[in-house]
Structure 1
Amino acid sequence: INTTQFSYATWVHVNGNDSYNQHISSQAENLDPAAGSIQGGGGAFRKKEKAEEDQYFQEKTKQQLIALKKHHEDEIKITRRLNICRNKLNGVKQKIKKLKYIN
């Protein structure tokens, strides 16, 4: 059964021709559910596919960790610069207070 037959069978059923629909349904019941499925297969091909998939996700995870580490390092640099600026600002504020106190 192909998708065109299935779609037509569904249309026929909705429009009231059950005999054709029953014929198509009986054909669908006789199909092998694993037909055309890579997962249903076995042997070397399946192992190779699984190994490639595992390798892909390991590489993806590695790239994500590298990006996360870089982001973390950037955040640390920004925080250090921010602390330096805050300290300078506090120093300027103290000088302003002293000048106001003197005057």
Structure 2
Amino acid sequence: MVARKCTFWTLDKNGEVGDINRNHHFYYQIQGQLRVTRRQFCYFTLWTPKGIKITKIDRDDEFWKEKMFPKLERFYMDYHLPELIDPRHNRSMSLRNPSYIEEAKSRQIKTKP
């Protein structure tokens, strides 16, 4: 038996594909791409044993404003901008990692089996 998990959509009791999981990294990626390309929607296509599922995903400006932009801005200000101003990479120095990035790395290492 082969089992595959697709956590981008919720599944009902009958195994039917339901709503989109807005916490999935695909949703973040799609919203970012819609924002950057200034598109209003895209079509997300998924193969299922019961046939192809095509879903129209609209750009969600509220999701961008509340969930994505603050994280991107923080990353830019704490990590990317300092590297642009005072590059360490060219001097063979380790890159700056803000504490929240180091903490996330530690948590990820602890959760790996």
Q: TM-score, normalised by structure 1?
A: 0.27
Higher helix proportion (structure 1 or 2) = 1
Higher strand proportion (structure 1 or 2) = 2
